[in-house]
Structure 1
Amino acid sequence: MRITLLAAAIGSSLVAPNLVFAQQQNTQQQATNNVETIQVVGSRLSLRTETDSATPVDIISAETLAATGITETAKALQYAVPSFNFPSSSVTDGTDAVRPASLRGLSPDHTLVLINGKRRHSSALVHLSGTTGRGSSNVDLNAIPIAAIKRIEVLRDGAAALYGSDAIAGVINIVLKDNASGGDLNVQAGQTYYGDGEQYKLSGSTGFDLAGQGALTLSAEYHHKNRTNRAGYDTRQQYPLLENGDPDPREQTFNRKSFHVGDAAYENAALFGNLNYQLGDGELYAFAGYSDRTSKSGAFYRRAIQSNTLTEIYPDGFLPILAPDVNDQSAYVGYKWAIGEWNIDASAGYGKSEFQYNVENSLNASLGPDLTPTEFDAGTLKNEETNATIDAQRFIPFINNSDLSLAMGISYRRNSYAVEAGDEASYINGSYQDRPAGSQGFTGFSPDSEVDESRHNTGVYVELENQLTLDFKWGAAVRYEDYSDFGNNTSWKLSGRYDLTDQFAIRGAVNTGFRAPSVQQLYFTNISTLFVDRNGELVPEQSGTFNNISDVAQALQIGRLQPEESTSASLGVVWQGDNGFTLTVDAYQIKIDDRIILSGDVSPEDSQAVADALAGTSAENARFFVNAVDTTTQGVDVVAAQTFDLGRYGDLKAQFAYGYNDTEIDAINLPPLLDGLEAQLFDEQEQLRMTDYVPKNSGSLGFTHRVGAWESHLQLSYFGDYKIYYGSGIETYGAELITDVAVSYHFSDQLSLKIGAQNLFDEYPDKRSEGNRFNGIFQYPLTNSPTGFNGGYYFTELSYSF
């Protein structure tokens, strides 16, 4: 019996997410219109669906995720939930391997991710390049294979009072498969219309009955993908002029498509297990996962004419390849039992993310041609999280012959973060001919950047829920958290729903929330060579990211990071027609104070205080994590669904979803010693990144038709315009409409074949203006397109169930 976000969301402030098991022991589950309905027996809050809740909840079934043949979990979720954004990125260092994803236009770390109702650890990677969510670390959803997923529940409402830190924009709960028998096998292969990006994926899942006392479900996936490349031709001079001043003849034969601009090549292997077993008078449950991904993406091409190239090794220049090894592992175990009227759930879990930077086809020019390696271990980032919770829940007789659900519990969490230095050759300055130091493409972490720090926190909560009448339900929750680094926080939530008729209801909620600064933001530090935009030219500089316990941050009186705090309100209407038509419309507002940003670069030329702080370092500029910005986000979500019985022509299911969100900056607050440096620390580019880098409007319209042995799926996905700031100003990229189509034939109840196309009409985003194409190489936006710039993709898929 899996703990579901839907059950936890009813009444908005629902029974504690780990405590619904007492009601769910008699749960019946069924799939209706690709949306799972959950029948809760023994409670007045029965027959709970996504339209019966007091807050908006999307329930995405495994069938919906797989309908269009999308191979990545995060991308499939993006096309299923319009308010979820998963933009593409290229030439962005580690972000090419772990891309950021966000909900309701907020930061990636404003969304809490759960697995089976338990907190999931985030990636060790900190997004440092010019992507959405710069300075954040998000959960790597692609480390969780689609083959292991039973459904995904998306609570689009603040829920810090229910779950603790991070749940400002909402909560994503991934429910793992839990079948006791049977399984499935799947093989998919495809490539882009362009002729690259070839990929194949092998996946499967199977369940085992444990002597009638429980089930063990194992799921595995192997995914191989070749890179895509949409780079323009590099028309720049590549070689030094000859002694007589003429161009080198090799200019005529040089392969000028020298950059890799597109999706990274990667291999990903994952294994997940999910177990439940009746033990004694209770239930033992456990789940675990392991994934390992190796990707390869290009950095900037180093020309033979440049000082960071050694022509003795690379006569024609070279393209450094970032080849990080990304490893995720997690395990949870728990036990549920009853003591008198109380239902108890005790659990403990561990998660770990490792991001090892490897650089290939590179060199350290400062070591000279005789000493430099061409491959480097540039260092490793590690994030570990341990959770332990004890929850208790019972029902108490209440007024009007109703039952009051009382839930309470205590949780403990320990987070640790480590930065391990790379090979000495990846960061050392060998002083050869004053050449640049460090591995080209990504400078390794030096011993000065090494960190091994941790923090812990304890939380307690109380939640109440009551179906006071047949028409009215309400909920309330309060949670207190105490952290070892910044102190404490208290958050609360109130919610309610009133059914005016059998078909029409209104619902709403108000809540406060918080997000504790992540250990990545607290402790990440590094000095490396970055390409910085200086008056439209990208020039290499020694750029330092200094954490808040560093001497530099203390000299500038940055101060310890404090939690972000939010106040949210939502109001919605629900319509459930007699003919099966459902419609929900929910408006919301989220105000966040003291948002944490990764600042822009400040240099000694900007102020004497910066010059003094950097005097003892090798950095030419510095940036910090700092609480600096207050924002307000407003939006509306619309979801509608209808099933049509076409008689002998089969049945047709139609689903429509639309999301609008707009974020505005209310205030910018910087430390006193940096007063007057707003233009450097949080400039127009960073402000735009927070407000307009993702589309404000997005929507989808999907149709699934079944007749006989045939099944077809058509989806239209709309992504509104978005903006990007370049050195020369702001560019607006127009809306995109993507058409996905897939047709399946079922040879039997077990075997089926699907063929399909994603981006059927081969749509591309608008091109960058001529002045922002970096000599014609970067044709498309590198970081923000919600659809990427690969064009159309066709595939075939063979599935077998047993």
Structure 2
Amino acid sequence: MIGLGTLPLSATVAPAFAQDENSEVEAEERIQVIGSRLEMRTATDGTAPVDVISGDELAASGITETARALQYAVPSFNFPTSSITDGSDAVRPASLRGLSPDHTLVLVNGKRRHMSALVHLNGTTGRGSSNVDLNAIPISAIKRIEVLRDGAAALYGSDAIAGVINIVLKDQREGGSITANTGQTYEGDGEQYKVHGNVGFEFGTDGFFTVAAEYHHKNKTNRAGLDPRQQYPLVDGELDPREATFDRLSHHVGDAEFENKSVFFNSAVTVGEGELYAFGGVSDRTSQSGAFYRRALDSRNIPEIYPDGFLPLLSPETQDSSFYAGYRFMLGEWSVDASAGYGESEFQYRLENSLNASIGPSSQTEFDAGTLSNDEVNATVDFSRFIPFVNNSDLAVAFGVSYRENTYAIGAGEEASYIDGGYDGRAAGSQGFTGFKPESEVDQSRDNTGIYLEVENMLTPDFQWGAAVRYEDYSDFGSNTSWKVSGRYDFNDQWALRATANTGFRAPSVQQLYFSNISTLFVDRGDGLQPEQSGTFNNISTVAQELGIEGLDPEESQSFSAGLVYNSYDGFTLTIDAFQIAIDDRIILSGDVSPDDSPAVAAALAASGADNARFFVNAVDTTSRGVDVVAAQTYQLDEWGSLRAQLAYGYNKTEIDDVNLPALLDGLEENLFDGVERTRMTRSVPRNSGSLSFTHDLGDLETRVAFNYFGDYVLENSQGVRTEFGAKWVADISARYLLTDQLSVSAGVQNLFDEYPDKQRPESQFNGIFMYPNTNAPFGFNGGYYYAEVTYRF
């Protein structure tokens, strides 16, 4: 339940293209979405584009992950599949408008949500970033999701460069539902089952307490090719007879196996003259994915432990928890919202079916490789009211103060996960992921204080405007001031023009400031994949200081957007919004520098134990341009029921304007920001994406057909070979039948025609094992999937 004091005001409302019957009713009433103090009659009455997706719409898709369901509902939201990318297999990156995952701010009930402790390191979209784990929030807890596709740092502070995702939790006082879902891929793997539900209770005389829970289990999928390589040492110069019986499906390239449990609640009750509210939740996920297979003849294997070789299994445990409480009340003519919240993400690295080859035959096979944790404390006080203004209009005024403290910690793994036991010169550390060493341990925090002022006004029935300014001061790098102005003019009842301009910023995350680790990565430098001890060093490390790597500065942005809105008299709506986002000093995780590159690097790395080094640096200026188109129409077909047609299309293109690398490392630009990183930043996500869906209601039967479009994208390997992966259409179909007023059954197929991405070039397939792109496949590479579910409402 979001009151006037909960959200800043200028973010306003725009197209709701994914609505169910409940949201259509809501749109006929006076609504408030993502911050506007001015109540709207419909979801296209605002100054900036906001997509409103109901919880029922998310559930009706049959997609079991919150982030994946959002991807299919909002084309500008990208949630690619990754495999064999360490922790990113468990917490996958997601992005908006082709920018980095950490350029999108996530709110829950209008309050800032904490980020995951994980840093994406291994080739995924947004390498070097962290993001909010949307899959930690169960779909059963969600009333609706609002996606603001516009810069909003002046409204919310750091991170809101690409936009804002606000997840509104369910708030019923009675009733609820329980759903059981099961399905599998056409290939017969990826079996999953999910049980989830919610229930509401009266709380006091006019309050509510709603709780939602989910249990979700999914088996792995595997689309690896057969391993043709020699597996065993030669026997008297001949192939070992076991070569003929070895199971060549040795790798795991596909979705991770996982088990997820989560519970969320939302509540509010009248206390005194105001409203006391609280919400939060906990999520616990255990996943399992594979690393590279270690052959029996590999020096990283110990035959006494694994005579046939082994596949190291990364089995991290991820916990997210959050709690917010606040009080809304009137102070004279002012609405006041005072709140405080705490969020924590913990990512514990665990290895199974592994070993530390340097310990020899006595090595253990399971390891605790260390723990990452990210804590966030937020406290805000917001004031708002309406003041009489010119033309007999009201001026909505809001101001407030916020305080945030972030703490990041790295705990070392158990000793066996990182030590060099000295056995036969073998590789040190747990295979699959080397444990964090004591030298990587850190426990650091930073805080910031922000103040803001916002105004919004409907000056005439045809003209609406808003403005905001925000000042924030950080304990580690200084201050920033950002602003935003917006306006809308209605030419008549059907046509309107809207526009915004704003500046923004993103403070370096505590993960980027303090993450440090030395791990074994496999790099192709022209002689096949070879293991290297690759060090990621934070900017306070000795290595970084010796090389002159300076501290991180905030990224700063300048954004402009303009849009056209059309509302026909027969219910057809169309919005077209163009945007430009220029970002200076984008933070990247650099490429590797090694002792062979320069004497300075050799000297700095001499005592570190690393073969190479990489850093977080402010290095790149970019400009992103694009356009979003949303259209919707409902047709009444008399005795044939009703048909809702919805179309959404997004185009975005990111270009690199300038590269500014550390001066001391001049001449090493190709190492620090090479073609691989350039391509990943500009072409690794589709520039074009869209969806066209039709939902037909006829009595107790509802059917849905959707066609989802994923445009071409490009990946580049370390040898400079670029591969373009072609555009694909993915079709989904489903049906739901209401057996009684309370009981319904559903069934459907996702990726009906069993579409796969283009295969990689032979030279990028690693002996034919990695047939499909394993880091940035926009719709995955599992093929078709069918499911069934039953729902009971009470």
Give the structure-1-normalised TM-score. Answer: 0.96
Contact 1:397 1:404 in 2 (8 A): yes
The alignment partner of 1:157 has SS state of: coil
In the alignment, what sits opposite 2:451?
Answer: 460
Match of 2:686 in 1: 695
8 Å CA contact retained: 2:283, 2:320: yes
1:746 matched to 2:746? The reply is no
1:759 is the counterpart of 2:751: yes
Q: 2:170 aligns with which of 146, 162, 177?
A: 177
Residue of structure 2 aligned with 1:271, choices 263, 274, 277: 263
- Do structure 1's residue 539 and structure 2's residue 530 form an aligned pair? yes
Superposition deviation, residue 259 in structure 1: 0.2
Q: Which of 66, 86, 100 is the aligned partner of 2:59?
A: 66
Maintained 8 Å contact 2:12/2:46: no
Matched, 1:489 2:490: no
Cα 1:553/1:406, change in 2 over 3 Å: same
Tell me which of 757, 761, 784 is aligned to 2:776: 784
In the alignment, the residues of structure 2 paired with residue 654 and residue 359 of structure 1 have an alpha-carbon distance, to the nearest angstrom, of 48
Q: Where does structure 1 lack aligned partners over 5 or more consecutive residues?
A: 15-28
Question: For the Cα contact (< 8 Å) 2:4–2:384, is it kept in 1?
Answer: no
Residue identity matched to 2:130? S
- In the alignment, what sits opposite 1:448? 439
SS in 1 for 2:320: strand
State the Cα distance separating 1:185 from its structure 2 match.
0.4
Task: State the alpha-carbon separation in 2 of the partners of residues 631 and 44 from structure 1.
Answer: 33
Question: What is residue 94 of structure 1 aligned with on the other side?
Answer: 87
Partner of 1:223: 216
**CA 1:723 to 1:536, structure 2 compared with 1: closer, same or farther past 3 Å?**
farther
Tell me, in whole angstroms, the C-alpha distance in 2 between the residues paired with 1:418 and 1:107. 23
- Answering whether residue 275 of structure 2 is matched by residue 283 of structure 1, we say yes
What is the aligned counterpart of 1:381 among 372, 385, 392? 372
Q: Is the 8 A contact 2:10 2:454 kept in 1?
A: no
Contact 2:472/2:480 (CA < 8 Å) preserved in 1? yes
Structure 2 residue identity aligned to 1:677? L
Matched with 1:640 is: 631
- The letter of the residue matching 2:351 is V
- Equivalent residue runs for 1:82-481 within 5 Å: 82-243=75-236, 245-370=237-362, 372-481=363-472
Question: 1:135: Cα distance to partner?
Answer: 0.2
Secondary structure in 2 matching 1:724: strand
Given the alignment of the two structures, is residue 727 of structure 1 paired with residue 713 of structure 2, yes or no?
no
Partner SS state of residue 220, structure 2: coil
Partners of 2:650 and 2:455 in 1: CA distance: 30
- AA aligned opposite 1:513: G
In 2, are the aligned partners of 1:663 and 1:691 still within 8 Å (CA)? yes
1:617 corresponding residue in structure 2:
608
1:125-171 Cα deviation digits (max 9, x unpaired): 00000000000000000000000000000000000000000000000
Partner Cα distance (1:321, 1:413) in 2:
37
Query: Alignment RMSD, CA only?
Result: 1.5
- Secondary structure of 1:777's aligned partner: coil
* Aligned-partner Cα distance in 2 for 1:480–1:607: 42
The normalised TM-score by structure 2 is 0.97
**Where does the alignment leave 5 or more consecutive residues of structure 2 unmatched?**
14-19
The alignment-based identity, stated in percent, is: 66
- 1:26 — aligned with what? none
Alpha-carbon distance change, 114 to 606 in structure 1, aligned in 2, over 3 angstroms: same
Partner secondary structure for residue 293 of structure 1: strand
* Secondary structure of residue in 1 paired with 2:604: helix
SS in 2 for 1:121: coil
1:773 corresponding residue in structure 2 = 765
SS of residue in 1 equivalent to 2:228: coil
1:36 positional shift:
4.6
The Cα offsets for residues 592-641 of structure 1, whole Å up to 9 and x where unpaired, read as 00000000000011112111211221011000000000000000000000
When residues 780 and 135 of structure 1 are mapped into structure 2, their CA distance, relative to the original with a 3 A threshold, is same
Contact 1:10–1:54 (Cα < 8 Å) also in 2? no
CA distance change for structure 1 residues 3 and 227 in 2, over 3 Å: closer, same or farther? Answer: farther
Q: CA deviation at 1:211?
A: 3.2
Deviation per residue, 1:767-797 (Å, 9 max, x gap):
1112211001001000111110000000000
Separation in structure 2 between the aligned mates of residue 72 and residue 216 of structure 1, nearest angstrom: 24
In 1, the alpha carbon distance for the partners of 2:107 and 2:254 equals: 30
- Take 2:702 and 2:26, find their aligned partners in 1: how far apart are those partners? 18
Partners of 1:4 and 1:619 in 2: CA distance: 54
How far residue 414 of structure 1 moved from its aligned partner, in angstroms, is: 0.1
Alignment partner, residue 17 of structure 2: none
Deviations 1:108-130 (A, max 9, x none): 00000000000000000000000
The alpha-carbon distance between structure 1 residues 799 and 267, as it changes in their structure 2 partners (threshold 3 A), is same
State the Cα distance separating 1:573 from its structure 2 match: 0.4
Counterpart of 2:320, as a letter, is: D
Question: What's the secondary structure of 2:632's corresponding residue?
Answer: strand
1:417 and 1:36, CA in 2 relative to 1: closer, same or farther beyond 3 A?
farther
Q: Secondary structure at the match of 1:700?
A: strand
1:553 to 544, 551, 570: 544
Written as runs of structure 1 = structure 2, the 5 A alignment for 1:514-529 is 514-529=505-520
Could you tell me how far 1:394 is from its partner in structure 2? 1.2
CA distance in 1, matches of 2:37, 2:424: 79
Between the two proteins, the alignment pairs up a number of residues equal to 784
Provide the C-alpha distance between the structure 2 equivalents of 1:576 and 1:385, rounded to a whole number of angstroms.
Answer: 42
Aligned to 1:25: none
Q: 1:47 aligns with which of 40, 43, 55?
A: 40
Question: Which residue of 2 is the match for residue 22 of structure 1?
Answer: none
Residue 20 of structure 1 is matched in structure 2 by none
**CA, structure 1 residues 531+449, in 2 after alignment: closer, same or farther (shift >3 Å)?**
same
- Cα deviation for residue 45 of structure 1 reads 3.3
Q: Is the 8 A contact 1:13 1:494 kept in 2?
A: no
| Residue aligned with 1:109, SS | helix
Code of the residue aligned with 2:125 in structure 1: it is T
8 Å contact kept, 2:196–2:214: yes
Letter in 2 for 1:415: N
Change (3 A) 1:151 1:36: farther
